[in-house]
């Protein structure tokens, strides 16, 4: 991978995917800077970069205030943009907060990139959530965009900012629409971060699992190492004709099977099924699986880690590191989002 001595900037680099990417880049010899102000409730964790902490420049600044680190933007050859809130539930509870983090801050950051480093390659962490409920599966990039929550709307707006500024030549962006990513360094102590973090937290604390619905809904989780490989390839590849590209996992599994595998490897824990709560039912998309063929033909990549193998690796990692992600005395998730955060006017961003 051609990253030796290459200056790169990772926004949201203290979060889950961003920190795994940062570690890989440092190991590849890149000169890595991270911009991450550790916004409450979004998953940033300094321990995530512990293996390479002394070899990373950490900038504790919002991307919406990018003028404060203009020199880093100007120097970067590649920018990996993983800043953002991922919680769909939080977006419905605090829509203005999600707007500031996922849209307004992104717009200001991209304008700064275009001003200080015209034409810079940016790889943005988008989401399959923008598609909404599928008309067909597996879902390709031609599927209509119909977000069903504020997070999807705001992430789609940021997707379009990247695409528009690339068409005009101000930046050179690629947007990866990611399916559910899992693996080491996921946040476990924050609620509403997705079903996989919930399953992992329950398994690691010896609790049984609950599945909403009948468990027949399909998902195609992608292991974080595979996702990082996709970012690395997109970072250095020639500019593609299609700039928004799906990234999915190697297999589509029913939630029932995912839960049963988690329960099995957690010590034969029970799995229960219950109706969707009203607040979850309105933003549930049903089944989803990704058509990643465009990424494969464009970059020569396909995911290689099957879910059960990735799950075993993830559980083994957390069993050695769990005290950095959960309080043993109080392993229940907590939400640190005061109600006023939904309407504050300070620009914020968060780690993914």
Out of 2.60.40.420, 2.160.10.10, 3.90.180.10, 3.40.50.720, the CATH code matching 7-187+223-250+289-305+337-342 is 3.40.50.720
Q: Is residue 97 within 8 Å of 192, Cβ to Cβ? A: no
DSSP letter string, 251-319: --EEHHHHHHHHHHHTTS--EEEEPPPHHHHTT------B--HHHHHHHS------HHHHHHHHHHHHH
> For 222-277, how does the pLDDT look when each residue is reduced to its tens digit (9 = 90+)?
999 999 999 999 999 999 999 999 999 999 999 999 999 999 999 999 999 988 77
Pairing verdict, β 78-81 and 56-59? unpaired
Distance CA 55, CA 33 (A): 9
Name the average pLDDT for the chain: 92
Burial class (CB in 10 A: 0-12, 13-18, 19+), 239: exposed
Place of tokens 């419905």: 92
Position 345 pLDDT exceeds 50: no
Beta bridge partners of 273: 211
Write down the pLDDT at residue 331.
Answer: 61
Position 340 pLDDT exceeds 90: no
Distance CA 320, CA 332 (A): 19
**Tokens found for residue 154:** 């705001």
Distance CA 313, CA 246 (A): 24
> For 137-190, how does the pLDDT look when each residue is reduced to its tens digit (9 = 90+)?
999 999 999 999 999 999 999 999 999 999 999 999 999 999 999 999 999 987
Q: What is the pTM of this model?
A: 0.93
Domain boundaries defined on the chain: 7-187+223-250+289-305+337-342
Distance CA 148, CA 242 (A): 25
The torsion of the CA quartet 128, 224, 209, 321, rounded to 10 degrees, works out to -150
CA 176 to chain centre: 10
Position 348 pLDDT exceeds 60: no
Write down the pLDDT at residue 347.
Answer: 42
Write down the pLDDT at residue 350.
Answer: 40
Place of tokens 């290459």: 6
Position 24 pLDDT exceeds 90: yes
Where does the pLDDT of residue 211 fall: very low under 50, low under 70, confident under 90, or very high at 90 and above?
very high
Beta strands in the chain (DSSP E): 7-11, 31-35, 56-59, 78-81, 121-127, 172-178, 181-182, 209-212, 218-219, 222-223, 244-247, 253-254, 271-274
Q: Is residue 305 within 8 Å of 251, Cβ to Cβ? A: no
> For 269-328, how does the pLDDT look when each residue is reduced to its tens digit (9 = 90+)?
999 998 877 777 777 889 999 999 999 999 998 999 999 999 999 999 999 999 999 976
Write down the pLDDT at residue 64.
Answer: 97
Write down the pLDDT at residue 342.
Answer: 38
Place of tokens 């409730």: 41
């Amino acid at each position: 991978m051609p990253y030796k001595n290459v200056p790169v900037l990772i926004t949201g680099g203290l979060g889950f995917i961003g920190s795994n990417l940062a570690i890989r880049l440092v190991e590849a010899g890149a000169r890595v800077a991270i911009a991450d102000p550790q916004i409450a409730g979004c998953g940033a964790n300094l321990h995530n970069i512990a293996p390479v902490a002394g070899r990373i420049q950490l900038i504790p600044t919002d991307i919406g205030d990018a003028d404060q680190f203009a020199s880093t933007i100007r120097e970067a050859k590649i920018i990996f943009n993983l800043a953002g809130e991922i919680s769909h539930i939080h977006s419905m509870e605090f829509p203005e907060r999600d707007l500031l983090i996922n849209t307004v801050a992104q717009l200001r950051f991209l304008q700064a990139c275009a001003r200080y480093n015209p034409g810079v390659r940016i790889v943005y962490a988008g989401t399959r959530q923008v598609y909404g409920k599928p008309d067909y599966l597996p879902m390709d990039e031609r599927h209509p965009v119909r977000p069903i929550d504020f997070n999807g709307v705001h992430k789609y707006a940021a997707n379009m900012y990247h695409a528009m500024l690339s068409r005009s030549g101000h930046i050179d962006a690629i947007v990866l629409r990611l399916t559910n990513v899992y693996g080491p360094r996921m946040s476990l102590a924050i609620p509403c971060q997705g079903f996989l973090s919930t399953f992992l937290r329950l398994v690691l604390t010896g609790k049984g699992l609950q599945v909403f619905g009948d468990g027949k809904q399909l998902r195609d989780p992608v292991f974080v190492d595979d996702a990082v490989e996709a970012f690395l390839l997109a970072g250095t590849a020639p500019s593609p004709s299609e700039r928004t590209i799906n990234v999915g996992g190697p297999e589509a599994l029913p939630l029932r099977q995912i839960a049963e595998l988690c329960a099995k490897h957690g010590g034969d824990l029970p799995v229960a099924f219950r109706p969707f709560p009203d607040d979850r039912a309105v933003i549930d998309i049903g089944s989803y699986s990704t058509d990643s063929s465009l990424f494969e033909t464009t970059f020569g990549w396909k995911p290689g880690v099957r879910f059960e193998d990735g799950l075993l690796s993830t559980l083994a990692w957390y069993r050695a590191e769990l005290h950095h992600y959960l309080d043993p005395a109080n392993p229940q998730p907590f939400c640190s989002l005061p109600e006023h955060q939904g309407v504050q006017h300070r620009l914020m961003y968060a780690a993914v």
